[in-house]
Structure 1
Amino acid sequence: MKRVRLYKNAADCSLLLKIQQKIKFMRRRFRFSMALLPKRWHRSRRNAAMAIIVASLFALYYIYSPTVITEKDLDITRRAAIIEYIENKLQEALKLDKGMGCEIPELDPFSREVTQFDKELPKIKCEGQDWVKCYHSKCRVIDGVKDHHKDITCTFRDILHHTDRQYTIGPPTQVGGDDVYELKESDHVKVACVGRRKDDNKKADWSGNTLGFRPVPPLPSPAGREDSFNVVIFGFDTTARNGFIRRMKKSWQALKDLGFTVMEGYNIIGDGTPAALFPILTGKNELELPDVRKSKHNNGSLDSFPFIFYKLKQDGYRTAYFEDMPNIGTFQYRFNGFRRQPADHYLRSFYLEDLVARPSPSHWWKGKKSYYCLGDTPQFKVMINITEQFLELGGKRFIFTFIADITHDDFNLIKNADDDTAAFLHSLMSRAEDTLIVVMGDHGPRYANVRDTLQGKLEERLPLLAVRLPARLARARPHAQRALQHNARALTTPHDLHSTILDVLDMRQHWNPYKVRGADYTRALTMLEPIPRNRSCSEAGIEPHWCACLAWQNVSTDDPFFEKTAQALLDYINSLVATVGDLCVPRTLTSTAWVLRQRANSRLLAFKNARDADGYVGHFDAKTKVANENYQVKIAVGPGHGIYEASMTYLVNEDKFMIHTRDISRTNAYRSEPDCISKTHPHLNPYCYCR
């Protein structure tokens, strides 16, 4: 008998359970709150009238307040209306930002604004010992188990994938402890073993799931394409570049030491993981693809989408797509998923079967078995190990590995993977000659408290992306390596990553030629050619509220900060020369030429969250906390006529400016003004006016 697992509504069931728990919690809170109120307070006409007045005032404030940004009333179930709306938004934004380029924020990864949310969690520890491991297609009892056990017999049952919603458990096959079980029908297998301990002859048993690779011969490569490059994309969910720097210090150092180019201007184009992975893997946005959302109750699937897996399969590649959280799968949570597995090797059914015995994630560190383990190994390490095994298969290879379990619910857990990820990156160098290596995140934190800060909001929009070209390609196309490094501070997107992969593979014919109406460039540009520095968010297909680019705005003369900023620079200059006593005359302010304030765009600041389940349209009523503001100022001082330009940071909570001499420029000659201190304090020459 085959056991059938149906997961048609696995994600929906999980969501329903969370909603039911939330309702129960809210009911308890409501009852408790009502118990604190005077009985029958609402029966008083005076109190009822007051309640109506307060509610009306709130409503009027929301409708008429100029500080609250509201959206036009959209039917968010009508896909065509959403597409038209977004297109119009991009075209409107293009009129404002075309050719203006992008000022990439320089964010301190260790700013208190974000590190206040970091926390140290217990290290993931996995109990017991797995009896059976697979390497490629061969599964056997490991030596460590055989050293302490005898008379071992194991029963193997394949986990057979049918669709993203259904799999079956195959018939049992018994194998002796010294024999090998060959994977033929599936990459995954359920195992149950029995034996006796050698020391006391007592019965012992073990059961679990394990995985390897059944033989899948690749198709012949087209003539002339037998030697194409391999591709490894290794990703973490919810991973901003700065978050990776903070929590994955050894891995970050490995990226720098091993010659990766970190794309500091890599900007998301939408909400959530699909908004990143659809463009990377298909070259198109979700809205440009057929509508196969579960909410539409149609029979469509993702099989018809132009995934890069399919193109490369026909080109003679072995392909693998590994993702580790099937209950929130990128292509299954909101979508109907695949009817046929999209790559030669695919882990969805393996992880669905594992969910059957998986403990609750709440307070996992208090339980006997960790939620983050697969048998005796942390799940993230299983993902690394199976990726390494895949790369040891012959032929041309393309693999996309995406780890979510240690990042999605609490990014602090990613620290557990630092040592193993760093070691994995170093191991990849043995394949660096002919392999494109990409290390990435899909987006930064979306729901954590850090997102209420401006830096957190910007980090959400600036995920990790590090790229290392195949050494053979870098030698053959040195200009491509130089262009990639030049583009490190350029505005880039998931669409560009897709074009870059195709460029590396010499498959430019599959580039998406789409261009925002009125733009000078196509939406997708390869990173192997210089990306124009005047490229704007709208030209790159990024809506304003997802755009992390900053802009400098003039501060009007009647703004308090016009005078406050100029005075702060003057005070700082006088504090520098005060260190030499009364040799220098204190400067006085004679004029302020201009003051500039650096700001994120208003749509980004006001964006709160997605208004619909699909993340197409946003709520714009957030009050984002701004801890720091950057200013530039130009002043003239006397005596003499010293002219200075400076950049400075205003600390909002402390009501003070941070200024450093390296950020100050004197733009006119000081000639003999500082003669009295030039020999002893030459660093003060730009500031001193001798008595």
Structure 2
Amino acid sequence: MCVSYRFLVYSPKCKIVDLDPFNPEAIQFHKVEDYVTCTNEELLTYVTKNDNVARLHINMSVLSSHSHKNVHCCYSNITRNLESQAPDDKIKISQCQDFTDSVIIHEQPVLVNCTNNKGFTYKNVHVAVSITKAIKDKIGRSKTKRPLSVLMIGIDSVSRLNFIRTLPSTYMYLESQGWIPLLGYNKMADNTFPNLMAILTGFDPDMSNQVCNPDTTSLGKLDTCPLIWHNYSKHGYVTAYVEDEADLSTFNYLKTGFKSPPTDYYFRPYILAAHKLGITRVDKVSYCTGPETSGERIMNLAKDFSVTFKDYPSLGFFWMNTFSHNELNSPTRMDRKVKAFLETLAKEGVADNSIIVLFSDHGIRYGKIRLYNTGWLEERLPFIYFSLPPRFKNDYPRLFNNFKTNVDRLTSPYDFYMTLQHILALGDKAFERKPSVGCPTCRSFFDEIPYNRSCEEAGISLHFCTCYGYSEIKLPKNVTLSAAQFVIDEIHHRIKSEKRCLRYKLSKVWRTAVSHSGLYSSNNESYLLVLIQTIPEAFFEATLTVTGDIAYGNFSLAGTISRTDFYNENGWCTKKLKSLCYCPKQWTKP
């Protein structure tokens, strides 16, 4: 039987299948989740801004409507604890200062505490983007003419297909407003850190660890890392960075974080303070921090920052984990909120002078959908959309046409890095674009990407490459078992230095799939995808290079080994080998 496919990318070196977002494999897991509110009452406090003056208010109508009598409110300033050995994880809270009705606040976050003698308590954290004297001076020195700002909005762990399924209103809004997707955007490594480092530095994982050394106990190494926002800052751009989940943050999860704020506006102290309000976990992440959702806190910060600097050069990086990271359907809760946020950016004029990127790092990496082909594909193909200012097409017609051409070309995070350099060069001819260290052949989305491009040429690891397409294959039992045992042996080889990790036995082979024939077989090689379940229970996925006849089982490992089930609870006894290790239950977790 002949099976016909549609393709997102189609060239001699790369064929990426275009699956229906609602295909039978995916739809069995799809469910629309309800938005979860973090409080049943209106917020008692809020912030307004007028002529760069931010004011903290008590909402008197809320007080009267709920008959809260004799309420006393005070606020404390929140700052980084510079005396701490881990200043990125510690904050200082000043003495609480009384206020009634309203009070002017400055650039620091504030913690509000309202109580009365009848047991009423209200706490929240607020922050406003105020233009300080230092920022005014920086803007005044900027040489950029007609600045083209960049606003990067990230939603963790959302594939292109799951974006369509779980954020349908947002998806339809982007399509109706002319946002441009990159359909062949393929992750280059396993998780968030390497994929974002490829975007922000152009480094591959080895270079990221060597130069930036985020896992070291020597605080300050990340501060010297050549993150792209430093380039923007040197050329007069105002910069901002924040993530909503303090524990999962890209530069803090199993890492030391920054010694000094990495950007002009660094909102981590605000997020740390918000976490102290009390957390409501939904799908095992910090969905609510106090009376507000963590995701909406980030969107409000992004809106405040981008509106404040809409007439000045700025680069903002705002990342959200708390409604998408752990569960396939979690994003459905925030669909209306994300759409409304994007509509507000357009209404406030942010889109008139900014390149806005809404994107993810990868698809969902865990769960039952990963047992299927659609899960394999989705994990590797995150969604990415660009909004280009109306004037961009007129000012840069060739670049605009190149971008449109690249919609159905194979692209990677390294190309994103080259694009960020390209944008900076458009505003400042003195800026010299440099090749990505991790992918010297990669290029900007505004340069035409080669039609016939391989994953290797795009800096994408073979294990995560979607160009090769796989078909399920029923192999002889001895070959299947041989391939599965090969994967287990490779795992054991990698964990041998960690004595606390249990050794695995094969429980079940869930998938064996072979790369589509004739596409890459220049040297008598093919690729075999193997997904196994072990004892103790863990799920591993590996890509094997097969030399010669597959029946002879001449295997070698292509890249890394993916863990497709949640491993935080049973991989606690090691950091570097967390995804491969299963810790004995008789050990007491610290």
Q: Does 1:164 align with 2:88?
A: yes
Contact 1:231 1:435 in 2 (8 A): yes
Q: CA deviation at 1:465?
A: 0.7
1:329 equivalent among 224, 241, 249: 249
Instruction: Look up the SS of the partner of 1:231 in the other structure.
Output: strand
Q: Does 1:124 align with 2:43?
A: no
Show the 5 A alignment for 1:108-187.
Answer: 108-127=20-39, 128-136=41-49, 137-148=54-65, 152-162=71-81, 163-176=87-100, 178-184=101-107, 186=108
2:125 equivalent among 205, 209, 215: 209
2:170 equivalent among 219, 232, 251: 251
Q: CA deviation at 1:100?
A: 4.3
Number of the residue aligned with 2:458: 540
Q: CA deviation at 1:503?
A: 1.6
Q: CA deviation at 1:470?
A: 2.0
Q: CA deviation at 1:223?
A: 6.0
Aligned partner letter, 2:30: D
Number of the residue aligned with 1:469: 388
Instruction: Look up the SS of the partner of 1:503 in the other structure.
Output: helix
1:437/1:474 CA distance change after superposition, 3 Å: same
User: Partners in 2 of 1:470 and 1:606 — Cα distance?
Assistant: 45
1:295-322: per-residue Cα shift (whole Å, max 9, x none)?
5443443110111222222222222112
Number of the residue aligned with 1:619: 561
Q: Does 1:276 align with 2:195?
A: yes
Number of the residue aligned with 1:559: none
1:602-650: per-residue Cα shift (whole Å, max 9, x none)?
6572373599xxxx9623899xxxxxxxxxxxxxxxxxxxxxxxxxxxx
Number of the residue aligned with 2:568: none
User: Partners in 2 of 1:126 and 1:602 — Cα distance?
Assistant: 51
Q: Give the TM-score taking structure 2 as reference length.
A: 0.72
1:231-266: per-residue Cα shift (whole Å, max 9, x none)?
111110001010000111110101111111110000
Show the 5 A alignment for 1:340-419.
Answer: 340-359=260-279, 361=281, 372-394=287-309, 395-419=312-336
User: Partners in 1 of 2:102 and 2:470 — Cα distance?
Assistant: 70
Aligned partner letter, 2:269: S
Q: CA deviation at 1:471?
A: 1.8
1:212-242: per-residue Cα shift (whole Å, max 9, x none)?
2344342145564143111111110001010
Q: Give 1 or 2 for the bigger CA radius of gyration.
A: 1
Contact 1:235 1:403 in 2 (8 A): yes
Number of the residue aligned with 1:427: 344
Structure 1: gaps spanning 5 or more residues: 1-98, 197-201, 365-369, 556-595, 623-691
User: Partners in 2 of 1:381 and 1:621 — Cα distance?
Assistant: 31
User: Partners in 2 of 1:522 and 1:455 — Cα distance?
Assistant: 31
Q: CA deviation at 1:411?
A: 2.9
Q: CA deviation at 1:336?
A: 1.5
Q: Does 1:103 align with 2:15?
A: yes
1:209/1:222 CA distance change after superposition, 3 Å: closer
User: Partners in 2 of 1:504 and 1:482 — Cα distance?
Assistant: 15
Number of the residue aligned with 1:449: 368
Number of the residue aligned with 1:528: 446
Contact 2:442 2:457 in 1 (8 A): no
Number of the residue aligned with 1:580: none
Contact 2:237 2:315 in 1 (8 A): yes
Show the 5 A alignment for 1:42-53.
Answer: none
User: Partners in 1 of 2:169 and 2:241 — Cα distance?
Assistant: 26
User: Partners in 1 of 2:120 and 2:282 — Cα distance?
Assistant: 30
Bigger drift between 414-423 and 159-168 goes to 159-168
User: Partners in 1 of 2:421 and 2:450 — Cα distance?
Assistant: 20
Bigger drift between 285-294 and 265-274 goes to 285-294
Contact 1:547 1:604 in 2 (8 A): no
Q: CA deviation at 1:474?
A: 1.6
Structure 2: gaps spanning 5 or more residues: 1-10, 82-86, 474-515, 532-539, 544-557, 565-590
Aligned partner letter, 2:123: S
After superposition, the CA RMSD in angstroms is: 3.2
Instruction: Look up the SS of the partner of 1:278 in the other structure.
Output: helix
Aligned partner letter, 2:241: Y
1:446-489: per-residue Cα shift (whole Å, max 9, x none)?
11211121221111111001112222222111121111111001
Bigger drift between 454-463 and 417-426 goes to 417-426
Number of the residue aligned with 1:513: 435
Q: CA deviation at 1:541?
A: 1.1
Q: CA deviation at 1:347?
A: 2.6
Q: Does 1:301 align with 2:221?
A: yes
1:527-549: per-residue Cα shift (whole Å, max 9, x none)?
11211111111011111111111
User: Partners in 2 of 1:534 and 1:203 — Cα distance?
Assistant: 68
Contact 1:284 1:512 in 2 (8 A): no
Q: CA deviation at 1:134?
A: 2.1
2:112 equivalent among 182, 186, 191: 191
Instruction: Look up the SS of the partner of 2:154 in the other structure.
Output: strand
User: Partners in 1 of 2:314 and 2:296 — Cα distance?
Assistant: 21
Contact 1:129 1:375 in 2 (8 A): no
Instruction: Look up the SS of the partner of 1:268 in the other structure.
Output: coil
Instruction: Look up the SS of the partner of 1:391 in the other structure.
Output: helix
Number of the residue aligned with 2:418: 499
User: Partners in 2 of 1:473 and 1:542 — Cα distance?
Assistant: 30
Instruction: Look up the SS of the partner of 1:432 in the other structure.
Output: helix
User: Partners in 2 of 1:494 and 1:221 — Cα distance?
Assistant: 33
Q: Does 1:485 align with 2:404?
A: yes
User: Partners in 1 of 2:193 and 2:121 — Cα distance?
Assistant: 42
1:68-94: per-residue Cα shift (whole Å, max 9, x none)?
xxxxxxxxxxxxxxxxxxxxxxxxxxx
Bigger drift between 402-411 and 314-323 goes to 314-323
Instruction: Look up the SS of the partner of 2:43 in the other structure.
Output: coil
Q: Give the TM-score taking structure 1 as reference length.
A: 0.62
User: Partners in 2 of 1:362 and 1:320 — Cα distance?
Assistant: 27
